């Protein structure tokens, strides 16, 4: 896998369009964040640390109404070092969020999926009679097998 310095995007933000306010906030916060000077220019296992984490990909339009991700989304996932999933009951129910996660993980980057929980409870769907809403999309909750299929094993 490439290291972060060779990717076009530092991150791809995956979210339900019902959580657009969180996406707007996170996108702006990451792109305007100034990395502490003491870290800038140092090398870690992912490359040289830059002064800014820019650019971050976030789709600004609704996805086409088909059951596959658009080629622009697939390319952006491939060109992103990290996937940040805005986790909420909305995203947990979104087929698009699940497909973005599955596509990103299929690229061999499962260890670069970051969850930003804004509402709900992780694994609430596994608790009988729970009044809490699940916040983690299925493709974040479970491991994938060698064929890229979800297993019943938690991540």
pLDDT along the chain (155 residues), means of 10: 69 95 96 95 86 86 54 92 97 94 93 97 89 92 84 84
* CATH number of the domain that residue 105 is part of: 3.40.50
- pLDDT at residue 23 in the model: 96
- pLDDT at residue 10 in the model: 92
- pLDDT at residue 70 in the model: 84
Q: What is the extent of the structural domain holding 70?
A: 4-154
- pLDDT at residue 76 in the model: 93
Q: What's the total number of domains in the chain?
A: 1
What is the value of pTM for the model shown? 0.87
Q: Is the peptide bond before 55 cis (omega within 30 degrees of 0)?
A: yes
Check residue 123 and give left, alpha or beta (phi > 0: left; psi -120 to 50: alpha).
Answer: left
In three-state form (DSSP H/G/I as H, E/B as E, the rest C), the secondary structure along 38-59 is: CCCCCEECCEECCCECCCEECC
Helix (H, G, I), strand (E, B) or coil at 37: coil
- pLDDT at residue 36 in the model: 96
83 is written with which tokens? 């996937």
């Amino acid at each position: 896998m490439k290291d972060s310095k060779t990717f076009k995007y530092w991150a791809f933000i995956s979210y339900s369009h019902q959580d657009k306010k969180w996406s707007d906030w996170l996108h702006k916060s990451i792109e305007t964040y100034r990395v502490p000077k003491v870290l800038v220019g140092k090398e870690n296992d992912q490359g040289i640390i830059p002064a800014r984490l820019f650019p971050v990909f976030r789709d600004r339009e609704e996805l086409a109404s088909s059951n596959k991700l658009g080629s622009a989304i697939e390319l952006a996932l491939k060109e992103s070092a990290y996937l940040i999933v805005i986790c909420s009951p909305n995203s947990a129910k979104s087929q698009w969020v699940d497909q973005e996660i599955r596509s990103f993980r299929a690229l061999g980057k499962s260890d670069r999926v970051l969850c930003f929980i804004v509402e709900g409870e992780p694994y609430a769907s596994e608790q009988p009679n729970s009044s809490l809403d699940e916040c983690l999309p299925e493709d974040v909750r479970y491991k994938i097998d060698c064929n890229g299929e979800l297993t019943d094993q938690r991540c």
